[in-house]
Structure 1
Amino acid sequence: MSNWLLWIVQGLLALSFLTAGVMKSVRPLEQLKQSMAWVGRVPPMLVRFIGICELLGAIGLVLPLATGILPGLTVVAASGLALIMIFAAIFHARQGEFREIGLNVILLLLALVVAIGRLPGAHF
């Protein structure tokens, strides 16, 4: 996959997780419950923790590679976000929220594309 295409995927993924991470980190939980029913079924600190992880992951998708400082962290960030999506899909499946899993799978696949595509020497 070409470098510019990976950058596009990284940018879109970062934007998605940045938006979700900020919302889960700072929005009042009552507001979040209106669009994300699961928020009312987990401890509030878990919602905030997930949001902060998504926010840091979004930054990690772009900043290390863009600055040239520890570019390997991009692979770590993408892998971490993929792991979050695996857990999210499992959670939604156990809750019977099968319609929610589609977005988790799409974000998981995009995160895996970035993680694999940014491995040293990767060419696919």
Structure 2
Amino acid sequence: MNLALWIAAGLLATVALAGGITKTFLPKQKLAAAHGGEWTADASAGFVKTLGIVELLAAVGLILPAVLDIAPVMVAVTAAAWILLMFGAMRTHARLDQYKLVLVNSVYLALALFIVVGRLAIEPF
């Protein structure tokens, strides 16, 4: 179970890192032109960059606390915060009739839920 939780955290951290890098460093116009990024056309550049930074912090928070053995409970806390973020993403994509992306976000939400339950109840650090 520990290995499965590490794999899930690694996958979710990779997703968060990729999303964070694109939202933080790509221009808003380029994001708005990409499939799945249409929502950025209605958002401020500051909001998009802030969301990118939050995703970068999530990537760190899913791995680093456990690796360094400093407040490893933060892995579960970060995964719980990711669940909230995915509810927002699912709502945003549903508003734009992007139901495939809602499904993708629900998979990320399920992974985060697995990490929360796994790290708090089944296999804590």
TM-superposition CA deviations, 1:29-54 (whole Å, max 9, x none) = 12111211111111221111111111
Return 5+ residue gaps in structure 1 as ranges: none
Residue in structure 1 matched with residue 56 of structure 2 by the alignment: 55
Q: Distance in 1 between matches of 2:6 and 2:99?
A: 30
Q: CA deviation at 1:122?
A: 2.0
Match of 1:122 in 2: 122
Q: Which runs of 4+ in 1 moved over 4 A?
A: none
TM-score by length of 1: 0.91
- Aligned identity (percent) is 36
How far the C-alpha of 1:28 sits from its partner, in A, is 1.1
Q: TM-score, normalised by structure 2?
A: 0.91
Aligned to 1:87: 88
Alignment of 1:1-124 (within 5 A): 2-35=1-34, 36-119=37-120, 121-122=121-122
Q: Distance in 2 between matches of 1:26 and 1:55?
A: 11
Q: More relative contact order in 1 or in 2 (CA 8 Å, sep 6+)?
A: 2
Structure 2 gap ranges (5+): none
RMSD (Å), alpha carbons: 1.2
Is the deviation greater in 29-38 or in 63-72?
Answer: 29-38
- In the alignment, the residues of structure 2 paired with residue 28 and residue 58 of structure 1 have an alpha-carbon distance, to the nearest angstrom, of 21
Aligned counterparts of 1:57 and 1:63: Cα–Cα separation in 2 = 10
Aligned equivalents of 2:76 and 2:82: distance in 1?
10
